Structure 1
């Protein structure tokens, strides 16, 4: 499994997606720590997919409950943080 940094992943996303379509799995790191994994869709089982969807919904609920709606400033700040 190949590892790439977040900056490289952002810069070369199209090429990474082509590699994943060809069957490769890629780990994305930030400051040397794994933070995400790109895998072909066929590798994700329905139970894992359902679990991920449940976790995403729960996280969405937590964010909404604790912080209220996002402002334009919040969104721009998150965008800018991702560019570092």
Structure 2
């Protein structure tokens, strides 16, 4: 990843954006400490739901690693809760099994 100080970024923004257009991310530093990252937009970023984008920005959620395979999703068996179990219990157990 390319690094640039705030002053370097101000003076060479067009060049840095050219690097970003070519797929390279740029880390902006202030007094040697990272403060921002400029990275290429994905096509789906342009129409992203603003609420989801805000959660990603705050680090509460992560963007999907792969596009949703709708056919596979619709063919997946439905999960049925057993008596006395909560959806939260099911999610915790599923996450524990994925480790």
Q: Distance in 1 between matches of 2:5 and 2:56?
A: 26
The equivalent of 1:26 in structure 2 is 26
Return the offset for 1:2. Answer: 1.0
Normalising by structure 2, report the TM-score. 0.46
Cα offset, 1:30, TM superposition: 0.2
- Cα deviations across residues 2-30 of structure 1 (Å, max 9, x unaligned)? 11100000000000000000000000000
Identify, as 1 or 2, the structure richer in helix: 1
Mapped pair 1:50 → 2:53 = yes
Q: Which has the larger radius of gyration?
A: 2
Q: Give the SS at the match of 2:3.
A: strand
**CA deviation vs aligned residue, 1:45-80 (integer Å, no higher than 9, x gap):** 64796216986xxxxxxxxxxxxxxxxxxxxxxxxx
Q: Which runs of 5+ in 1 are unaligned?
A: 56-84
| CA RMSD, Structure 1 to Structure 2 (Å) | 3.1
The count of residues paired between Structure 1 and Structure 2 equals: 55
SS at match of 2:23: coil
How far residue 43 of structure 1 moved from its aligned partner, in angstroms, is 8.4
Structure with the bigger RCO (C-alpha within 8 Å, sep 6+) is 1
